[in-house]
Copies of this chain bind each other. A is one copy, B any other.
Amino acid sequence: MDVARIAGVSQKTVSRVFNDEPYVSAELRRRVLDAAEELGYRLNNAARALASGRTRSIGVVTLGTALYGPASLIMGVERAVRDMGYALRVVNTVEGDPAGVVGAVDSLLDQGVDGIVISEPIDDGRDGDLAARLDVDVPVLVLGAPPFSAPRSLVAGVGADVMARTATEYLLDLGHVTVHHLAGPQRWFAARDRAQGWRSALVGHGRAVPPVIEGDWSAASGYAAGRRLASDGDVTAVFTANDDMAIGLIRALTEAGRRVPEDVSVVGFDDIPVAAYVTPPLTTIRQLFDVVAQDGIKRLVHTIENPQADPLPASEPPVDLVLRASTAPPPTRAPLGRGRRRTASRPDGCGPAPPAETMVPAQN
C-alpha cells in the first residue's frame, strides 16, 4: 500500500510497526511513521479482522433501562473493556422483546465479537434454558446471574444474597421481630438473589418469614407496596430490593402517618446518588459496580486470549452497608395490633436527619 511505497519498505514492515512487533530497525520505524503521518494513515480494522480472525471487540447485552444499577454496571464494563484494549459493542434488549437475549447475542455474533457480556439477564421463561438455545463459540461473561452451562462461560456480580442477608440481619439486630421484604420482579435473577438472602437471614434467626411483596424496581411500585404495608401494624422493618422502591415506599408510609424510622425502618439497595439526600436519608447497601465489572472483564479477556488455560478465579466483592437515618430500633410501645390504622393526619416523620453516615464495610 501507499505507506509502504512512500517509506520504501514492504507492506509487512508497516504491519510490524503498527503492531509493535519486534525486528524493525529504528530507522525503518521512523520512515514508516513519517509516511503514515503524512498520509493520515490508520490501520483498517475490517481488513485486520478479516485476516486475523479476531475483531478485538467485546459485545455487551444489556437491558434497555436507565436504572441506576444496570447503567452503572455498563459504565464499568465499558471502562474495563477499553482498559484491556478492546472495543465495545452494545445491544440492548427490551423486556417483552420477542427476540430477547438470544436475539441480542445472535446479533453480536453476527457482528463478530471475540467475547460477550450478558448483563443482568431476566428470566422470562423463554430464556430459562438460555444455555441450550444459545450456541456460542466465544467466551461469555454473565453479570448478576447464575452460571450458565455454555462451554466457556464465566460469572460475576452475584453475591447479592450475602448483601441482602447483611441488611436483614442489621434490622434484626436493631431489635425488629421480623423484617418484611419488598422484592424486585422475580424474573430478575438479581431480585431472586436478594429475596433469597433476606429469607435465609430470617430463617437463620428462627423468625417468621412474611410474604414477599413484589415490585418492579420503580418508585411507583414501592409506593403501591407502601400503601398496603402501612395498614399492617406488625410491619416495623422493610428491606427493599432497590433504592427507588424504598423511596416510593417511604413516601406511602409517611402519607399514611407511619413515621420512618420511628415507626418503620427501611433499608434500600444500590446507594443511588440521591439516597443520602432524600427524607429521611436512606440506609442502604452500596454496590461496587466498577469492581464487579472490572473483575469480570479481566477474566473474560483472559479466557479469550488463553483459550486453553484455566479461567482466572473470581474475586468476591465486599459488602458495604451504609447506615443513614431510615433505620432505628422498633417502636417501644406495643405493636398496633391487627386493626387497620389509616390516618389522614399530617405526617411529621421527616425531621432533620443527621448528615452523619456510617459505613459497615466488608463482611466477607
* A residues with CB within 8 A of B: 40, 42-50, 55, 57, 64-66, 68, 71-72, 75, 78-79, 82, 87-92, 94, 107, 109-112, 135, 218-220, 222-223, 244, 247-248, 251, 254-255, 273-274, 276-279, 281, 346-348, 350-353
Q: Which of A49, A75, A94, A276 has the most CB of B within 10 A?
A: A75
B residues in contact with A274, CB < 8 Å: 219, 244, 247-248, 274, 278
Q: How far is the CB of A148 from chain B (nearest CB, A)?
A: 20
Q: Are B88's CB and A89's CB within 8 A?
A: yes
Q: Which of A46, A219, A351 has the most CB of B within 10 A?
A: A46
Q: Are A71's CB and B78's CB within 8 A?
A: no
Contact of A347 among B112, B251, B255, B351 (CB under 8 A): B351
CA A343 – CA B244 in complex, angstroms? 31
Which single residue of chain B is at the shortest CB-CB distance from A106? B42
Q: Given that A248-B277, A277-B248 are contacting pairs, would A64 and B55 also be in contact in the complex, using a CB cutoff of 8 Å?
A: no
B residues in contact with A90, CB < 8 Å: 78, 88-90
25 residue pairs A–B, Cβ–Cβ below 8 Å: A42-B110, A43-B110, A45-B46, A45-B49, A46-B46, A46-B47, A46-B50, A50-B50, A64-B79, A71-B71, A79-B92, A87-B91, A88-B89, A88-B91, A219-B274, A223-B277, A247-B274, A248-B277, A251-B281, A274-B278, A279-B279, A279-B350, A346-B351, A347-B350, A350-B350
